[in-house]
């Protein structure tokens, strides 16, 4: 299976690659080796230089120094071009999928290549379908090529994207496949299927560089790993050396203590605290859903189980006619976002770019937008107070940006998310609804976000936290609701809460009710 | 307050290139904001010294004509600016101006009380703005289609009302005086224009409604989720556009001493062009009041100067069209350059974290 060219058993070598953006050293002499037919995990926080390294491999950013050896061919890293990357067999599959959900799987596989056409330019649909069938079988994807891609689950869509990238190799599993966080948006069960496929590809000889924030996946599939921090490769590890705590420490450059949760018998003590949220008919078996001051309540469930919809109904979006939400015993009048906000409810939506960030407005304006009324004066808008508050929040929320007048788009994902949190927490909400607040955010920012949530809750709020990451829920939540088919079916209490218990509860069919 | 995690010590990058990059960034920012204003000054200076126009351009009389002739267009442009901030094009601004002018003029001809006649004209504009607003927010019709439709209907109304003949008899002297006389050496209509500009500026920059309008233009879904009544805000922008266009209409009556039935439509494109060009000046990337005025007067000085220099009339069309495209393209290219130096400066700050 291995290429005869590869007298070197390494499919990819990176030697001393450096890159500076002006004064900042994004990469500072990074060296890493990826053996052919293995899965190599590339780890690191935001700003560690991961993306820069990938861009250099792809030839879209030119390095300052160093060499690349791809499939036995050595080249100065600064001379790398997209054409060289393609010729060397480097394939990239990015987080943002370049697929067409409304077209069939077969068409998605052929796009970018050529449609076979017959008379009068007619597309030979049956030939197309047969070819697609072959590709799908080769890469172990069990779907009908005529299915509309958007109807498949997200993990299968990712597999189709990978198959599309791989299909045109001379050998089925040649070259180096670079996967940039393919699982960031996938729920756990789907991830397992995807990872199993990757393992099969590696066994067949495929070399894979796997970028991820999810450390459990590293344990599951990677043979070797490199950890980048501040532009340097701080560790190169073999499978035997993978240790979760060790990896976190390497990535963060400091040991992160998980935010502390009141441990002993907190669920027994909880009834003493005030009920801040009561939502009729939304709890287990159409009982009321209740949140108490000081608790973070998790929500787990597969994609499509109704987690987001639950939060939106509480926030007055698309609520059913009989929904009744009370905050601190007072019923929210009418169902609208404004009524929910007045009652003290805050909502951080899942898709930051589409639903939360005002990309071309300044950080200041992104923060003040949820509380504009408080700056209205008879003589006009109090811009000084607005700026002062934004500056204070940037400091206390550790938002790292040069100035509050920069557009929010200039910040990294984690810092953008902290801006969105600051926007809501400045209102001192009683109920905090959070939909995947730490998705696609590096380990450090994630810990900061968790600490901010805990701080708000300690001051008397209650939080409802939706997450696909069970490790996060187990670490942060006091108890967790499990959702299935649009309803909360059960609750996992603090005493039983663990990653395994969540996995079991979410995937178990017909769990005890 | 708890401190979530200790801030790590940043490696110290070399200062020199960073400082230079920042100053380059600042220079590009300045150019991006003021290129159009600089060009306006350059054009004015040029026509003041250029042989053919040196005697005519920099005279008080010419400058008074220049300012008063642009007052109406500027107000129509400010009207178009308000919905444009929400990314909505109001193509009916010119037609509303025309209708309000014709209606006010004919009421004045019928010897109605002056203030009442003008008030009716403005109220009509507000009403048409409301119709646009309801069609867009309640019926969900696309804004361009809605306003194209109302503009076309209004054109018909004007012709039906006037029979295609200008309404210019019996306009009270008080009205025409306002349109033609100066106060303190400045045309009176210029004061009206400045007043409208200040009102729109105050509204957009110094009221919560203005902030909401900008938020809506930036991300409508997110605006909804922070409790902004998006339909109400959107509707308000169309109503304001209708009202302001109608104000432009009554000022036009004062300037022209009557109303020509064909005049309204002629304002639509220059006004929208200036409103659009405003994102290329003063506050780059944002449609804004200052930029709108700069754009209006840049084009006016060019046209006036070329006119005085004896250029044939069609040159005006070339200049207006080219200025719009070149202005926006230039601003976009400066913005791209600044964004890339800015990203590098920010990357330098955050990569190290």
Q: What is the DSSP string of A440-469?
A: T--HHHHHHHHHHHHHHHHTT-EEEEE-S-
Pick from B16, B32, B86, B222 the residue to mutate for testing the A interface (most A CBs within 10 Å). B222
B7 in a domain, yes or no? no
Residue A408 or B340, more confident: A408
Residue A512 or B122, more confident: B122
pLDDT at residue B29 greater than cutoff 80: no
- Angle at CA of residue B97, ends B96 and B103, nearest 5°: 85
Read off the pLDDT of each residue in B49-60 and give the average, rounded to a whole number: 80
Which residues constitute the domain of residue A406? 355-426
pLDDT tens digits for A432-476?
999 999 887 877 888 889 999 999 999 889 999 998 888 888 889
pLDDT at residue B124 greater than cutoff 90: yes
- Among B47, B45, B30, CA closest to B306: B47
Instruction: Report how far apart, in Å, the C-alpha atoms of B260 and of each of B99, B134, B165 are.
Output: 10, 29, 7
Domain boundary among A187, A220, A255: A255
pLDDT at residue B12 greater than cutoff 50: no
**For residue B348, what pLDDT band results from cuts at 50, 70 and 90?**
very low
Cross-chain Cβ contact A402/B205 below 8 Å: no
pLDDT value at position B340? 62
Pick from A232, A352, A369 the residue to mutate for testing the B interface (most B CBs within 10 Å). A369
Cross-chain Cβ contact A455/B1 below 8 Å: yes
A113 in a domain, yes or no? yes
Same-domain status, A158 and A270: no
Q: Is the CB of residue B284 less than 8 Å away from at least one CB of chain A?
A: no
8 A C-beta contact, residue B38 and residue B331? no
pLDDT value at position A217? 83
- The whole-angstrom distance between A393's CA and the closest CA on chain B is 13
B11 in a domain, yes or no? no
Separation between Cα atoms, residue A331 and residue A323, nearest integer Å: 11
Read off the pLDDT of each residue in B147-151 and give the average, rounded to a whole number: 93
- Angle at CA of residue A225, ends A43 and A245, nearest 5°: 65
A475 in a domain, yes or no? yes
Instruction: Report how far apart, in Å, the C-alpha atoms of A177 and of each of A24, A71, A94, A108, A236 are.
Output: 29, 12, 11, 19, 19
- The whole-angstrom distance between B210's CA and the closest CA on chain A is 10
pTM: 0.72
Nearest to A358 among B219, B344, B350 (CB): B219
Residues counted in chain A = 513
pLDDT at residue B14 greater than cutoff 60: no
Instruction: Report how far apart, in Å, the C-alpha atoms of B65 and of each of A46, B62, B173, B186, B254 are.
Output: 59, 5, 20, 10, 14
A349 in a domain, yes or no? no
pLDDT value at position A95? 62
> Chain A contacts of B221, Cβ < 8 Å?
354-355
pLDDT value at position B18? 60
A-B contacts (CB, under 8 Å): 145
Query: Phi/psi at A258 (nearest 5 deg)?
Result: -60, 140
Strands A65-70 and A10-21: antiparallel
Q: Is A139 exposed, middle or buried (0-12, 13-18, 19+ CB in 10 A)?
A: buried
pLDDT at residue B293 greater than cutoff 50: yes
Which residue bears the tokens 């005085």?
A: B308
Half-sphere exposure of B43 toward its Cβ, with a 13 Å CA cutoff? 21
pLDDT at residue B3 greater than cutoff 70: no
Q: Could you report the predicted ipTM of this complex, rounded to two decimals?
A: 0.77
Which residues constitute the domain of residue B81? 20-347
Helix (H, G, I), strand (E, B) or coil at B289: helix
pLDDT at residue B229 greater than cutoff 80: yes
pLDDT value at position B98? 92
Domain boundary among A395, A426, A457: A426
Its sign, for the CA torsion A109, A111, A114, A115, is positive
B252 in a domain, yes or no? yes
Strands A176-180 and A90-93: parallel
Same-domain status, A70 and A202: yes
Same-domain status, A73 and A21: yes
The 8-class DSSP code of residue A241 comes to: G
A137 in a domain, yes or no? yes
Same-domain status, A447 and A298: yes
Domain count of the fold of chain B: 1
Q: What is the CATH number of the domain that holds A77?
A: 3.40.50.300
The 8-class DSSP code of residue A66 comes to: E
pLDDT value at position B193? 92
Query: Phi/psi at B41 (nearest 5 deg)?
Result: -65, -45
Read off the pLDDT of each residue in B233-239 and give the average, rounded to a whole number: 95
- Angle at CA of residue A440, ends A470 and B342, nearest 5°: 160
* Proportion of chain B in helix, strand, coil states, percent, rounded to 5: 75, 0, 20
B187 in a domain, yes or no? yes
Range with the poorest average pLDDT among A265-269, A417-421, B20-24, B100-104: A265-269
pLDDT value at position B185? 77
Same-domain status, A326 and A438: yes
pLDDT value at position B353? 36
pLDDT value at position B16? 52
Nearest to A230 among B215, B224, B352 (CB): B352
Same-domain status, A242 and A191: yes
pLDDT at residue B78 greater than cutoff 70: yes
Same-domain status, A78 and A104: no
Nearest CA in chain B to A366: B215
Same-domain status, A129 and A238: no
Half-sphere exposure of B259 toward its Cβ, with a 13 Å CA cutoff? 35
Domain count of the fold of chain A: 4
Contacts of B114 (CB under 8 A, 6+ apart): B108, B172, B174, B175
Element of type H or E holding B237: helix B230-256
Spatial strand order of the sheet with A479-484 comes to A345-348, A431-435, A462-466, A296-300, A479-484, A487-492
Report, as ranges of residue numbers, the positions in chain A whose pLDDT lies below 70. 1-8, 22-24, 46-47, 95-98, 112-115, 119, 169-172, 184-185, 187-189, 252-272, 303-304, 319, 321, 507-513
User: Which 6-65 residues of chain B touch chain A by CB within 8 A?
Assistant: 6-8, 11, 13-18, 21
Same-domain status, A432 and A510: yes
pLDDT above 90: percentage of residues in chain B: 27
Same-domain status, A295 and A162: no
Q: Is B310 exposed, middle or buried (0-12, 13-18, 19+ CB in 10 A)?
A: exposed
**For residue B249, what pLDDT band results from cuts at 50, 70 and 90?**
very high
Same-domain status, A250 and A266: no
Pick from B204, B219, B283, B336 the residue to mutate for testing the A interface (most A CBs within 10 Å). B219
Separation between Cα atoms, residue A61 and residue A83, nearest integer Å: 13
Cross-chain Cβ contact A444/B5 below 8 Å: yes
Domain boundary among A409, A426, A443: A426
Cross-chain Cβ contact A412/B215 below 8 Å: no
pLDDT value at position A258? 46
pLDDT value at position A5? 47
pLDDT value at position B234? 94
A45 in a domain, yes or no? yes
Its sign, for the CA torsion A390, A392, A397, A399, is positive
> Chain A contacts of B207, Cβ < 8 Å?
376, 380-381
Tokens of B203: 């509204």
Identify each DSSP E strand in chain B by its residue range.
182-183, 186-187
B6 in a domain, yes or no? no
A350 in a domain, yes or no? no
Same-domain status, A468 and A321: yes
Q: What is the CATH number of the domain that holds B59?
A: 1.10.3470.10
- The whole-angstrom distance between A23's CA and the closest CA on chain B is 5
């Amino acid at each position: 299976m291995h290429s005869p060219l590869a007298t070197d058993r390494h499919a990819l070598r990176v030697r001393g690659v450096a890159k500076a953006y002006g004064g900042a050293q994004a990469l500072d002499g990074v060296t890493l080796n990826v053996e052919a037919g293995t899965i190599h995990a590339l780890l690191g926080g935001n700003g560690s230089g991961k993306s820069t390294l990938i861009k250099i491999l792809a030839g879209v950013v030119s390095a300052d120094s160093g060499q690349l050896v791809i499939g036995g061919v050595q080249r100065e890293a600064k001379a790398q071009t997209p054409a060289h990357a393609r010729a060397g067999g480097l394939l990239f599959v990015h987080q943002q999928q370049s697929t067409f959900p409304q077209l069939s799987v077969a068409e998605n596989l052929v796009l970018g290549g050529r449609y076979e056409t017959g008379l009068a330019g007619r597309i030979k649909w049956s030939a197309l379908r047969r070819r697609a069938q072959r590709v799908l079988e080769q890469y172990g994807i069990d779907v009908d090529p005529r299915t509309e891609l958007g109807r498949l689950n997200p993990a299968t869509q990712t597999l189709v994207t990978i198959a599309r990238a791989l299909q045109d190799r001379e050998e089925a599993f040649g070259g180096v496949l670079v996967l940039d966080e393919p699982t960031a948006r996938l729920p756990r069960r789907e991830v397992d299927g995807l990872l199993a496929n990757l393992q099969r590809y590696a066994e067949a000889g495929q070399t894979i560089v796997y970028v991820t924030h999810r450390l459990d996946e590293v344990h599951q599939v990677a043979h070797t790993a490199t950890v980048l921090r501040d532009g340097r490769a701080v560790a190169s590890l073999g499978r035997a050396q993978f240790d979760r705590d060790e990896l976190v420490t390497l990535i963060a450059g400091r040991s992160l203590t998980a935010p502390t949760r009141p441990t002993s018998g907190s669920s027994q003590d909880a009834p003493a605290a005030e009920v801040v949220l009561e939502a009729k008919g939304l709890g287990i078996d159409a009982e009321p859903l209740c949140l108490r001051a000081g608790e973070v309540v998790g929500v787990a469930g597969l994609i499509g189980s109704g987690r987001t919809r639950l939060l939106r109904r509480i926030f007055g979006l698309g609520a059913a006619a009989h929904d009744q939400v009370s905050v601190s015993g007072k019923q929210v009048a009418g169902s609208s976002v404004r009524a929910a906000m007045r009652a003290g409810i805050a909502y951080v939506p899942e898709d930051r770019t589409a639903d939360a960030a005002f990309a071309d407005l300044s950080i200041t304006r992104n923060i003040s937008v949820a509380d504009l009324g408080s700056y209205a004066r008879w003589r006009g808008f109090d811009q000084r107070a607005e700026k002062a508050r934004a500056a204070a929040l940037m400091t206390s929320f550790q938002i790292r940006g040069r100035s509050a007048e920069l557009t929010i788009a200039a910040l990294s994902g984690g810092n953008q998310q902290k801006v969105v949190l600051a926007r809501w927490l400045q209102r001192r909400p009683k109920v905090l609804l959070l939909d995947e607040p730490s998705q696609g955010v590096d380990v450090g920012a994630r810990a900061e976000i968790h600490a901010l949530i805990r701080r708000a809750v300690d001051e008397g709020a209650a939080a409802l936290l939706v997450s696909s990451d069970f490790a996060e829920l187990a670490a942060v939540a006091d108890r967790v609701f499990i959702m299935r088919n649009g309803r909360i079916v059960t609750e996992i209490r603090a005493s039983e809460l663990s990653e395994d218990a969540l996995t079991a509860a979410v995937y178990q069919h017909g769990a005890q009710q | 307050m708890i401190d979530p995690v200790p801030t790590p010590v940043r490696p110290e990058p070399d200062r020199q290139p960073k400082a230079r990059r920042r100053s380059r960034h600042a220079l590009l920012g300045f150019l991006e904001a003021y290129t159009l204003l600089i060009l306006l000054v350059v054009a004015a200076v040029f026509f003041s010294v250029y042989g053919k126009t040196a005697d005519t351009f920099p005279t008080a009389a010419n400058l008074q004509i220049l300012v008063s002739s642009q007052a109406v267009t500027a107000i129509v442009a400010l009207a178009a600016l308000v919905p444009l901030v929400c990314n909505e094009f109001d193509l009916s601004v010119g037609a509303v101006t025309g209708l309000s002018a014709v209606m006010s003029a004919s009421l004045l001809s019928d010897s109605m009380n002056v203030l009442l006649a003008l008030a009716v004209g403005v109220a009509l504009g507000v009403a048409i703005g409301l119709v646009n607003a309801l069609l867009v927010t309640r019926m969900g019709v696309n804004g361009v289609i809605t306003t194209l439709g109302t503009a076309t209907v209004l054109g018909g109304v004007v012709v039906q009302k006037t029979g295609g003949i200008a309404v210019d008899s019996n306009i009270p002297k008080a009205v025409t005086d306002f349109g033609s006389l100066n106060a303190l050496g400045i045309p009176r209509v210029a004061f009206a224009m400045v007043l409208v500009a200040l009102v729109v500026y105050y509204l957009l920059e110094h009221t919560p409604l203005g902030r909401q309008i900008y938020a809506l233009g930036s991300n409508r879904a997110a605006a909804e989720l922070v409790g902004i009544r998006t339909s109400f805000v959107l509707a308000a922008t169309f109503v304001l556009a209708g009202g302001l266009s109608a104000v432009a209409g009554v000022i036009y009556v004062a300037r022209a001493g009557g109303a020509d039935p064909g005049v309204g439509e002629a304002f639509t494109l220059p006004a929208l062009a200036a409103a659009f060009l405003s994102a290329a000046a003063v506050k780059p990337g944002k449609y804004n009041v200052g930029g709108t005025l700069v754009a209006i007067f840049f084009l006016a000085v060019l046209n006036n100067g070329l006119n005085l220099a004896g250029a044939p009339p069609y040159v005006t069309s070339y200049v207006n069209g080219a200025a719009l495209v070149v202005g926006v393209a230039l601003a976009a290219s400066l913005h791209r350059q600044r964004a890339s130096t800015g990203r590098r400066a920010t990357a330098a700050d955050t990569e190290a974290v």
